[in-house]
Structure 1
Amino acid sequence: MICQNRPLPGPRKAPFRPGYLGLLLGSLLAATSPASGQRLSPLHAAGPKTVDATGREVVLRGYNVGGWLLQESYILGTDTLNSQWRIKQALLRTMPEAEVEKFYRQYRQQFITKADIDFLARQGFNCVRLPLHYDLFLTSEQRHARTEVIREPQTPQKLTAYVQQLSQWYDEGQLFANPRKLDGIRFIDEVVKWCAANNMYVVLDLHAAPGGQGTDRNINDNFLPLDLWKRHDAKGRLIYQDITVRLWEMLADRYRNEPAIAMYDFINEPHNLNAANGLTPDNQELNTLYSRLIDAVRARNDQHLLMIEGNGYGNEYTNLTPDKLKVKSTANLVYNAHRYWCPNTAEAADPNPNQINLLSNLTAFRDKWQVPVWVGETGENSNEWFAAAVQGLNDRGIGWGHWNIKRVDSGAGLLRIAPYGSILTPQGRAALLRNAQFANCQINRDVAAALTQPAARQAFTKLTIPGTIAATDYDLGRDGVAYHDDFSARTDYRDYTPHNQGGAYRNDGVDIIKSPDMPNGFAVQQLATNEWLTYTVSVATPGAYKVELRLHPGAEAGRLRLQLGSAPVGTATVPAGAAWTTVTLNTPALPAGQHTLRVLVEAPVQQLGWLRFEPAATTARTSE
């Protein structure tokens, strides 16, 4: 069993809660922030644990800031453009190169800022994984040479000329020669400063390696698949690998003494390295490059944690275990897993012990090899899946970096960017730059709750009786705790069934659709037999009530039953129909105070918009 990564176009730990990591860091870290003249404590491996300089364990739980320093088309809602270079290619058809470069400067200045990092810290996260594109470490002249390939990527001579130019710069020592002038260094320095001020660590992630580490255009941004492993220059060198080593040597030289950087993630998600693509079936190419990278960084006297990622989107480690690496020292290595669309149960296991995305395999690998493991990416699913994954990882003392902080018009990210139109128009680009700013993003509170309080049920918003309750404002919490839906999480990467049929408003298994006629613009739909929703309500005035339910019937009669705590409130029979209607029921006397209101589906109803509670006495007087 494997756990695929990207959406296709198409001993026991304390529970994690807001503020918990702030307390954890206060006791575990030897220092506070650079702003106060102190620094975070450097991390290292001690057997299967990650510890600080005092030997105290630090479990990193945080967020990826993807889509920023490497654009991914699905994050920006430009799926037809497929990758960053294709987005840039399309822009070059409508504007001069100087204007394109100006747009990218503005985009990188605004998409992620200190405000975003401060927000993550307030939620209780203690690290940020920073995905980087290698072209951020090219000079403007060198990036221009790559842009010339972008204009005509199907012309082999263009790519060959670019590779030969890279080779010349490599031989002449012109690649990464003046770090202070490179955009990538400036962004790393800023993120490190922002994070350190919040007692947060940073993971440097080479997300798009020179030549491309696989076949997925979004994360490789490569011109030809697997060129990192295949492309030779005129001297017969695997030149992209040489460049990758030199890049990490430069980074090690600059950051070897920076304790706020937790670890280096050498290459993000290598994948499809196999015999079908002309490579070995047992990761020999990965072993060779990782061994070079580890020795190169250590030769720089850099003792940072070094994370390696397996084949198959970062999960498969045949020939990559510590005993197989051809290195002088295996100290301070971390092994990675990326967990998407796979089971979170303890009994789920893969027969290949080197395939470690499943919880049982991940734990067994850590214990066998006595190395720390870290889930560098996880997410892209429902809140139910998020909470189950977080609980499973937290219980095993395994840290994680959630993917991703921002996404256009999506409930799966922590922050939702409003739709902006087309990136290929001036109006669309201006709207994107505006909408992506933290102050203009919508906070998906349900996602935050699933990650920081995965076992809890809590009110989504304040609800009072008498009053109107939007059906979509059911409580925060897991399936079986706050609600029940027939399908609430994807656990098989081959199953593309959406957990929220309608995809609107919230990221749970509850099916929610846009409904302009509803006060909040949304309605719950496809309410099937035995599904239910709970609402934390405050009964301000005790007594009997008349309840109106605004709903859309189905082709057959439906039935909804209401409970307050365990006490029955009433049952509404819904006649079959094709138009919105309002049905009523009368309740017994309801006690004052805070209660749990539950709506149970005894027979299907197409949509439910709201429930309105009015005192029965007032209703009777009004009708006289």
Structure 2
Amino acid sequence: MNGSSPSPQRNNILRNIFFGFLTVAATSLFTPNAEAQQLPFLQAKGSQMVDANGKEVVLRGFNVGGWLLQESYILQTDSLNCQWRIKQGMLRTMPEAQMEEFYKQYRANFITKADIDFIAKQGFNCVRLPFHYDLFLTAAQRHARTQAMLSPKNVDGYVEQLSTWYDQNQLFTDTKNLDGFRFIDDVLKWCAANKLYVILDLHAAPGGQGTDRNINDNFVSLDLWKRRDAKGRPIYQDMTVRLWEKLSARYKSDLRVAMYDLINEPHNLNAANGMSADNQELSALYSRLINAVRAQNDKHMLLLEGNGYGNEYTNLTPDKLAIQDKTNLAYNAHRYWCPNTPETADNNPNQINLLHNLAAFRDRWQVPVWVGETGENSNEWFVAAVQGLNAQNIGWCHWTLKRVDGPTSLLRVKPYGSVLTPEGRAALLRNVQYANCQPNRDVIAALTQPATFQAPITALTIPGTIQAADYDLGRAEVAYHDDYSAKVDFRDNTPWNQGGAYRNDGVDIKVNTDSPDKNFSVGHLSAGEWLKYTVKVASAGSYTLHMRVQKGSAPGQVSLQLDGGKLVLVPVSQATTAGEWATVTVKTPPLPAGQHQLRLLVEQPVNQISWMRFEQTGASSAGGQ
């Protein structure tokens, strides 16, 4: 972003290029051993995260969201909104035991060692593990929560049951058998075998840390902050403290854990919702949590998340927290739909999602900062974000590893139907398995390659057919130009890919209804937009070009350029009827053999282009190999 060269750390991490290593069914090259289990303990030293030898460690990795807490958009069940409502829908047609069995299978399939191996193979060094507090309840306690889920009138009774279990020390105690501890142990083992650090993330806190139940799966908004039991205690906060005490007791000496992410994305803690306007409630709970962890002689780094989805830190800076031990604190930002220019700043220095504020906060308070979530945007935005963060040696963790029909994730899960039908659930359990997922190669390129990177997405030869959507991998102005290629204002919901199919660039791609095999077409082609293809001309000579196009309301025109020189004009006006597909045919001058850069330039607007087919019409001596 600012003209700096990629850091040596980035170059070391991102050395591999794609072909060959993106096979979904590939098995891990790593095996567990003593060396892999002994990752150096991480700690804060001034504004850096360092290992035991004082060497800086920049954590770059992936969230495994949607696994131990279902967020409805990850599963394409937005109408259901959150995990408890998905469960509620299931319980209309099945008994509770059957629902619990489905979730047991879902969690067994969604993330496995193969997924973690795949993350490591891309060159990342950490995994953030989001989890729901209900995984640390016993079966009987989870049944009580299910009863509260079925009717709002049951919530008060559930709270009083929690109070009783809390007083009797029956919460989070069976560390050998509770699902939450078992899943954490599995992930730690898988990650250690790949020399990956793990960040433990309480993603859905007891009671819910905000108003968005899709994120925190709460029954009542802001109940973590507002709910009192019959004794007047903030019972959900007391439970949160106890849960972290139990987690700390189990993992305080575990070198595989990089940080504890104490509460994910607290949000809408404000006067409009009957709370303070300056994070007093959040500051008080963080102080309790930090003191509770440190009381067990646990030195792990503790990651704080500010109000406003993890970004606003008024009264949360080290000087404001009511804690004695201010060491090994780290501060988090969640970066979505914002500018990546280094000079863009927020007037509030405690609002740190912008690059300028993030670095300034780090330097002002001499604390490490880390972007615990970023993503949900176009590849162009990813490249700019990664370049900006890497230039500042700020680590980041992409959201998220896999999504149903998700173009922004590392792995794409095939659509499955409805989670409320037996057929849909069976398909979901199959489709989420690593071997059945499809790597999004363009996303991987955006996150792991230098800003200048360009490579073929597939081998293209002339003579032959080139699909319009198979332009090269690479960022905007390297592999393509589109009028709108990234979302930098959260209020602007203009899609960067009008069509949303196949790839995650600014190029507008949709499923091609003209093609019997449902291939893809590129559309919304405005004057000045272009696509670049690396092609191999097998045999020098003249060619006939057939281009499958859909004309707009006015005559359109595109041109092809070879290695920067104009090759041929293609008048789309030959397709006489607007909205209908037609094949336009033109002759090309002689093409030299060998590898070349072919650029398709839109001279006048065109609705869609499906493919270009080159057929040789005459041999020529032009060009060499």
Same fold (TM over 0.5): yes
Q: 2: CA distance between counterparts of 1:17 and 1:424?
A: 46
- Please say if residues 454 and 478 of structure 1, whose CA atoms lie closer than 8 Å, have aligned partners that are also in contact: no
What pairs up with 1:445-524 in 2 under 5 angstroms? 445-455=441-451, 456-518=453-515, 521-524=519-522
1:350 partnered with 2:349:
no
Residue segments in structure 2 that go unaligned for 5+ positions in a row: 17-29, 621-625
User: How far did 1:419 drift?
Assistant: 0.9
Task: State the match for 1:529 in structure 2.
Answer: 527
- Please say if residues 206 and 268 of structure 1, whose CA atoms lie closer than 8 Å, have aligned partners that are also in contact: yes
- Please say if residues 405 and 414 of structure 1, whose CA atoms lie closer than 8 Å, have aligned partners that are also in contact: yes
User: How far did 1:555 drift?
Assistant: 1.1
Task: State the match for 1:62 in structure 2.
Answer: 61
Q: Secondary structure at the match of 1:296?
A: helix
CA gap of 1:12–1:324, structure 2 versus 1, over 3 A, is farther
User: How far did 1:543 drift?
Assistant: 2.1
Q: 1: CA distance between counterparts of 2:235 and 2:15?
A: 43
Residue identity opposite 2:178 in structure 1: L
1:298 partnered with 2:299:
no
Task: State the match for 2:95 in structure 1.
Answer: 96
1:46 partnered with 2:42:
no
Residue identity opposite 1:444 in structure 2: N
Residue identity opposite 2:523 in structure 1: Q
User: How far did 1:17 drift?
Assistant: 5.6
- Please say if residues 550 and 581 of structure 1, whose CA atoms lie closer than 8 Å, have aligned partners that are also in contact: yes
Residue identity opposite 2:587 in structure 1: N
Q: Secondary structure at the match of 1:325?
A: coil
- Please say if residues 13 and 396 of structure 1, whose CA atoms lie closer than 8 Å, have aligned partners that are also in contact: no
Aligned match of 1:13 in 7, 12, 23? 7
1:373-413 Cα distance to aligned partner (Å, 9 max, x none) = 00000000111111111111111100001001111112111
Residue identity opposite 1:479 in structure 2: A
Q: 2: CA distance between counterparts of 1:524 and 1:13?
A: 35
Task: State the match for 2:83 in structure 1.
Answer: 84
Task: State the match for 2:24 in structure 1.
Answer: none
- Please say if residues 33 and 196 of structure 1, whose CA atoms lie closer than 8 Å, have aligned partners that are also in contact: no
Task: State the match for 2:561 in structure 1.
Answer: 563
Task: State the match for 2:139 in structure 1.
Answer: 140
Q: 1: CA distance between counterparts of 2:91 and 2:619?
A: 66
Task: State the match for 2:538 in structure 1.
Answer: 540
- Please say if residues 390 and 454 of structure 1, whose CA atoms lie closer than 8 Å, have aligned partners that are also in contact: no
Q: 2: CA distance between counterparts of 1:300 and 1:349?
A: 39
Task: State the match for 1:217 in structure 2.
Answer: 213
CA gap of 1:92–1:21, structure 2 versus 1, over 3 A, is farther
Residue identity opposite 1:279 in structure 2: M
Task: State the match for 1:284 in structure 2.
Answer: 280
Q: 2: CA distance between counterparts of 1:419 and 1:202?
A: 29
1:356-380 Cα distance to aligned partner (Å, 9 max, x none) = 0000000100111111000000000
Q: Secondary structure at the match of 2:33?
A: helix
1:416 partnered with 2:415:
no
User: How far did 1:21 drift?
Assistant: 8.3
Q: 2: CA distance between counterparts of 1:420 and 1:410?
A: 13
- Please say if residues 210 and 266 of structure 2, whose CA atoms lie closer than 8 Å, have aligned partners that are also in contact: yes
User: How far did 1:528 drift?
Assistant: 0.5
Q: Secondary structure at the match of 1:179?
A: coil
User: How far did 1:618 drift?
Assistant: 7.2
Q: Secondary structure at the match of 1:439?
A: helix
- Please say if residues 19 and 122 of structure 1, whose CA atoms lie closer than 8 Å, have aligned partners that are also in contact: no
- Please say if residues 388 and 454 of structure 1, whose CA atoms lie closer than 8 Å, have aligned partners that are also in contact: no
User: How far did 1:593 drift?
Assistant: 1.7
Task: State the match for 1:574 in structure 2.
Answer: 572
1:596 partnered with 2:590:
no
- Please say if residues 417 and 436 of structure 1, whose CA atoms lie closer than 8 Å, have aligned partners that are also in contact: yes
Q: 2: CA distance between counterparts of 1:554 and 1:516?
A: 16
1:327 partnered with 2:323:
yes
User: How far did 1:577 drift?
Assistant: 2.4
- Please say if residues 511 and 518 of structure 2, whose CA atoms lie closer than 8 Å, have aligned partners that are also in contact: no
Q: Secondary structure at the match of 1:376?
A: strand
Q: 2: CA distance between counterparts of 1:14 and 1:214?
A: 40
Task: State the match for 1:25 in structure 2.
Answer: none
CA gap of 1:476–1:341, structure 2 versus 1, over 3 A, is same
Residue identity opposite 1:610 in structure 2: W
Task: State the match for 1:554 in structure 2.
Answer: 552
Task: State the match for 2:204 in structure 1.
Answer: 208
Task: State the match for 1:249 in structure 2.
Answer: 245
- Please say if residues 559 and 568 of structure 2, whose CA atoms lie closer than 8 Å, have aligned partners that are also in contact: yes
User: How far did 1:415 drift?
Assistant: 1.0
1:182-213 Cα distance to aligned partner (Å, 9 max, x none) = 10000000000000000101000000000000
Q: 1: CA distance between counterparts of 2:577 and 2:330?
A: 59
Task: State the match for 1:27 in structure 2.
Answer: none
Q: Secondary structure at the match of 2:377?
A: coil
Q: 1: CA distance between counterparts of 2:243 and 2:493?
A: 38
CA gap of 1:18–1:471, structure 2 versus 1, over 3 A, is farther
Residue identity opposite 2:593 in structure 1: A
Q: 2: CA distance between counterparts of 1:449 and 1:605?
A: 28
* RMSD (Å) for aligned C-alpha atoms: 1.6
Q: 1: CA distance between counterparts of 2:34 and 2:533?
A: 44
- Please say if residues 45 and 331 of structure 1, whose CA atoms lie closer than 8 Å, have aligned partners that are also in contact: yes
User: How far did 1:477 drift?
Assistant: 0.9
Residue identity opposite 2:460 in structure 1: L
CA gap of 1:597–1:21, structure 2 versus 1, over 3 A, is closer
Q: Secondary structure at the match of 1:367?
A: helix
- Please say if residues 549 and 611 of structure 1, whose CA atoms lie closer than 8 Å, have aligned partners that are also in contact: yes
User: How far did 1:118 drift?
Assistant: 0.5
- Please say if residues 33 and 39 of structure 1, whose CA atoms lie closer than 8 Å, have aligned partners that are also in contact: no
Task: State the match for 1:28 in structure 2.
Answer: none
1:425-466 Cα distance to aligned partner (Å, 9 max, x none) = 111100000011011111111111110014111111111111
Residue identity opposite 1:74 in structure 2: Y
Q: 2: CA distance between counterparts of 1:14 and 1:498?
A: 35
1:82-126 Cα distance to aligned partner (Å, 9 max, x none) = 100000111111100110110010000001111110111111111
Q: 2: CA distance between counterparts of 1:275 and 1:404?
A: 32
- Please say if residues 48 and 368 of structure 2, whose CA atoms lie closer than 8 Å, have aligned partners that are also in contact: yes
Task: State the match for 2:359 in structure 1.
Answer: 363
Q: Secondary structure at the match of 1:180?
A: coil
Q: 1: CA distance between counterparts of 2:529 and 2:347?
A: 35
Residue identity opposite 2:237 in structure 1: Q
User: How far did 1:177 drift?
Assistant: 1.3
- Please say if residues 460 and 466 of structure 2, whose CA atoms lie closer than 8 Å, have aligned partners that are also in contact: yes
- Please say if residues 12 and 397 of structure 1, whose CA atoms lie closer than 8 Å, have aligned partners that are also in contact: no
Aligned residues: 597
- Please say if residues 210 and 243 of structure 1, whose CA atoms lie closer than 8 Å, have aligned partners that are also in contact: yes
User: How far did 1:12 drift?
Assistant: 7.0
1:155-195 Cα distance to aligned partner (Å, 9 max, x none) = 2xx11111111111111111111211110000000000000
- Please say if residues 265 and 305 of structure 2, whose CA atoms lie closer than 8 Å, have aligned partners that are also in contact: yes
User: How far did 1:311 drift?
Assistant: 0.2
1:150 partnered with 2:146:
no
Q: 2: CA distance between counterparts of 1:540 and 1:520?
A: 28
Q: Secondary structure at the match of 2:10?
A: coil
- Please say if residues 110 and 433 of structure 2, whose CA atoms lie closer than 8 Å, have aligned partners that are also in contact: yes
CA gap of 1:454–1:89, structure 2 versus 1, over 3 A, is farther
Residue identity opposite 1:210 in structure 2: P
Q: 2: CA distance between counterparts of 1:162 and 1:520?
A: 51
Q: 2: CA distance between counterparts of 1:199 and 1:541?
A: 48
- Please say if residues 561 and 567 of structure 2, whose CA atoms lie closer than 8 Å, have aligned partners that are also in contact: yes
Q: 1: CA distance between counterparts of 2:413 and 2:450?
A: 24
Residue identity opposite 2:388 in structure 1: G
- Please say if residues 482 and 534 of structure 1, whose CA atoms lie closer than 8 Å, have aligned partners that are also in contact: yes
